[in-house]
Amino acid sequence: MSRFFSGKYARLTPYTPGEQPQDRQYIKLNTNESPFPPSPMAQRLARLEAGELQLYSDPACKKLVSAAAEAFGVRPDEIMFTNGSDDILNFAVMAFCDADHPAVFPDVTYGLYSVLCAVNGVPYEEIPLAEDFTLRVSDYCGVGKTVFLANPNAPTGIPLPRREIEKILSSNPDSVVVVDEAYVDFGGESCLGLIGTYKNLLVTRTFSKSRSLAGGRLGFGVGDRELIRDLNTLRYSTNPYNINRMTMMAGVGALADEKYFRACTEEIIRVRQETAAEMEKLGFEMTPSAANFLFVRHPKFGGAELYALLRDRGILVRHFETPRLKDYNRISVGSREDMRALLNALRELTGERA
Ligand code: PMP
């Protein structure tokens, strides 16, 4: 830490993103990226836009906002785009949390929530999930704090039905409820249909997973127009050109190519189910995932141990060395070929310990 670093950040522990190693070619199953390239339409529009990069991007993101409003059945003033959905989560903490409105989220969830609270000086409460990593909805009913829920949850992949989230929304009318739907396209039930009914609902989404644009950095929030106006106040006060021109057009192309989107997500769901069934045969236990990853443990391997054994074999998965997660690994669902390689490695490793 330099002597110039503000004291208000002295105790900040930054989020640790999944590894992006450059030392060798890995089968990358550690950051829940799509194994498929962006839609050809997204690629073509982004390439065309490269010739316009001398000009700033449209801060209002008009083309993208109107394409998304149409695709998701909401009004343009109910949407705001950001640089990945991490960015809108940060704006949501800035906008809707403070000492009088602390944040609340499960103890096992996306690790960035607590970091965003820390960097913004916001108090937060973590409510433990049940032993099987399910969420007790009653814990959040009438909690009176700004609620952050990943649905499906990370890293477990466990989804919550929309009617359960409605109980949280209706019992907390004076608090914002942020529903992070980063993985919803792989089998979750979206709350987008509740926009218009609940003024305290903010749904966040990303193009990083189901639309194969993780490197483009594109996310968005959908909510009541007054919430979106607040979020835009902060966006225009920090980085009004937060979406670059090429990403904006890649987003337009990705939304237009619904057929490609459906083919990719359906394939991931199929491969997830097949991989889960094969892993269960090898003795793995897992949470019921509705996301593009599996959260698994094996009685004969420690979590860190299995992570290291796979890494030695050129397969990268995500391990979290925290008390509740240390026996597990989160494995992204890759291509059929990636999963064949994974299963071969796992057959070999479990066979050695039979
Ligand atoms: N929410 C959850 C639950 C995630 O796992 C991720 C991916 N790390 C994100 C949001 C953010 O993704 P992105 O910033 O790429 O949109």
Whether residue 282 is found in the same domain as residue 227? no
- Could you say which of 227, 257, 287 is where a domain stops? 257
- Ligand 1 centroid to residue 130 C-alpha, Å: 23
Residues 6+ positions from 185 with CB-CB distance below 8 Å: 209, 210, 261, 265
Q: Is 154 in the pocket of ligand 1 (CB under 6 A)?
A: yes
In this structure, is residue 178 part of a structural domain?
yes
180 lines ligand 1 (CB under 6 A): yes
Question: 3-state DSSP call for residue 188?
Answer: coil
Distance 44 CA to ligand 1 centre (A): 25
Residues 92 and 140 in one domain: yes
pLDDT for 277 equals: 98
Residues 6+ apart with CB under 8 A from 283: 298, 299, 300, 350
Look at residue 292 and tell me if it is in a domain. yes
Does residue 84's CB lie within 6 angstroms of at least one atom of ligand 1?
yes
User: Are 281 and 251 in the same domain?
Assistant: no
Dist CA 206 CA 83 (whole Å): 9
154 and 299, same domain (yes or no): no
d(CA 335, CA 34): 8
Tell me whether residue 1 is in a domain: no
Query: Is residue 128 domain-resident?
Result: yes
Same domain for 147 and 275, yes or no, is no
Q: Which of 28, 31, 34, 86 for a ligand 1 pocket mutation test, highest count of atoms within 8 Å of Cβ? A: 86
Same domain, 135 and 174: yes
CA distances from 179 to 150, 168, 199, 203, 269 (A): 6, 11, 13, 5, 22
Q: Identify whether residues 120 and 203 lie together within a single domain.
A: yes
Q: Assess whether 176 and 226 both reside in one domain.
A: yes
- In degrees, rounded to 5, the angle at the alpha carbon of residue 174 between the alpha carbons of residues 12 and 200 is 80
Gap between the Cα atoms of 251 and 228, Å rounded: 19
Q: Is residue 252 part of a domain?
A: yes
Boundaries of domain holding 297: 7-36+259-350
Query: Is 72 contained in some domain?
Result: yes
* Backbone torsion region of residue 196, taken as left when φ is above 0, otherwise alpha when ψ lies between -120 and 50, otherwise beta: left
Return the H-helix or E-strand segment holding 337: helix 336-352
Q: How remote is the CA of residue 330 from the centroid of ligand 1, in Å?
A: 14
Q: Using an 8 Å Cβ cutoff, are 309 and 292 in contact?
A: no
Provide the number of structural domains found in the chain.
Answer: 2
pLDDT at position 19 is 84
Per-residue pLDDT tens listing for the chain (354 residues): 999 999 999 999 999 888 888 888 999 999 999 999 999 999 999 999 999 999 999 999 999 999 999 999 999 999 999 999 999 999 999 999 999 999 999 999 999 999 999 999 999 999 999 999 999 999 999 999 999 999 999 999 999 999 999 999 999 999 999 999 999 999 999 999 999 999 999 999 999 999 999 999 999 999 999 999 999 999 999 999 999 999 999 999 999 999 999 999 999 999 999 999 999 999 999 999 999 999 999 999 999 999 999 999 999 999 999 999 999 999 999 999 999 999 999 999 999 887
- Ligand 1 centroid to Cα of residue 248, in Å, is 18
What pLDDT is stored for residue 24 in this prediction?
83
Q: Are 75 and 192 in a shared domain?
A: yes
Contacts of 315 (CB under 8 A, 6+ apart): 26, 27, 29, 341, 342, 345
129 and 192 both lie in a single domain: yes
Q: Are residues 125 and 47 in the same domain?
A: yes
What's residue 167's pLDDT? 98
Does ligand 1 come within 6 angstroms of the Cβ of 182? yes
Q: Whose CA is nearest to atom 7 of ligand 1?
A: 182
Q: Collapsing DSSP states into helix, strand and coil, what is residue 334?
A: coil
Three-class secondary structure of residue 83 per DSSP: coil
Rounded-to-integer distance, Cα 112 and Cα 326, Å: 18
Q: Is residue 244 part of a domain?
A: yes
Type of residue at 213: L
CA–CA gap between residue 247 and residue 228 (Å, rounded):
21
Which of 224, 257, 290 terminates a domain? The answer is 257
Answer yes or no: is 2 within a domain.
Answer: no
Indicate which CATH number applies to the domain containing 12: 3.90.1150.10
- Which of 214, 238, 257 is a domain's end point? 257
Residue 101's CATH number: 3.40.640.10
Assigned token pair, 154: 């990370």
Are 164 and 295 in contact by the 8 Å Cβ rule? The answer is no
Residue 141 sits in the same domain as residue 205: yes
